[in-house]
Amino acid sequence: MINLFVGFDPREAVAYHVFCNSIIQNTSVPVQITPLVLSQLQEFNETHDDRSNDFVYSRFLTPYLSDFKGWAIFADGDMICQGDLKELIDMADPTKAVMVVKHDYQTKATQKYLGNINENYPRKNWSSVILWNCEHPKHKILTPDFVSKQTGKFLHRFSWLDDQDIGELPLEWNWLASEYRVNREAKLIHFTLGTPCFKDYKNSDMADIWYHYYDLSQKGFDQ
């Protein structure tokens, strides 16, 4: 069983459901999918005022929500999974606290979906896919109270860890659509600037792949 936590924002709920469908279509083992819905995280007092979406900070509760046991995956909800998540979980390195794609890029766009400012910063998008070693002792501090009081800079740069605690995943497991070249073979396509469900991004790079899984999600409704 793979434990997967997915960021959920009601403003793009359709993106969450299409992403989950793509996971179901392509993963070869059972997956337990947990949406990170703020209204359900009653112990977490979300007071940050710099959120571009509802799950900017709740992703760091993954070890806590897993009872600090085993491995879990966090992924943003604006993705499409074309790979088998078993391949991703099989990369788990017990000597690491987290494993991420270590992006090193400057964004092509100063603004993204819903008018949110898109700034460059160190380790940008590292936290959008995280393979968590939930039982790593350094994660014990990641309680709801602790996370609610930390800055984005501290959390998204994994500042509670040393650099050697952060393992590296292949780029294909967090391929940034419209930021990187078109890669139709990517395992996880991340529509980081805007999911094609938004009109401004309906014709963005690889949007047709997103629509393919959207169409699969609609099967049966018109019958």
User: From first to last of its 223 residues, what are the pLDDT tens digits of the chain?
Assistant: 999 999 998 888 999 999 999 999 999 999 999 999 998 998 988 786 665 666 889 999 999 999 999 999 999 999 999 999 999 999 999 999 999 999 998 776 655 655 565 566 679 899 999 999 999 999 999 999 999 999 988 999 999 999 999 999 999 999 999 999 999 999 999 999 989 998 888 999 999 999 999 999 887 555 4
Pairing of β 31-36 and β 71-75:
unpaired
Quick one: how far is CA 42 from the chain centroid? 21
CB atoms within 10 A of CB 172: 15
* Distance from C-alpha of 176 to C-alpha of 80, rounded to nearest angstrom: 11
Pick the closest to residue 27 from 10, 11, 6 (CA basis).
Answer: 6
In angstroms, the Cα distances linking 152 to 23, 124, 148 are: 28, 11, 10
Quick check: pTM over 0.85?
yes
* Distance from C-alpha of 108 to C-alpha of 164, rounded to nearest angstrom: 30
Tell me the Cα Rg of the chain: 17
User: Residue 46 has what pLDDT?
Assistant: 77
Q: DSSP H helical segments within 96-169, as ranges?
A: 144-149, 152-156
User: Residue 223 has what pLDDT?
Assistant: 45
User: Residue 120 has what pLDDT?
Assistant: 67
First to last CA, the chain: 33
Domains and CATH numbers, the chain: 2-217 (3.90.550.10)
* Distance from C-alpha of 15 to C-alpha of 140, rounded to nearest angstrom: 31
User: Residue 45 has what pLDDT?
Assistant: 81
* Distance from C-alpha of 166 to C-alpha of 37, rounded to nearest angstrom: 26
* Distance from C-alpha of 54 to C-alpha of 131, rounded to nearest angstrom: 20
Residues 67-105 have pLDDT tens digits of 999 999 999 999 999 999 999 999 999 999 999 999 998
Classify 217 as helix, strand or coil: helix
Classify 72 in phi/psi space as left (phi over 0), alpha (psi -120 to 50) or beta: beta
Any bridge partners for residue 81, and if so which? 188
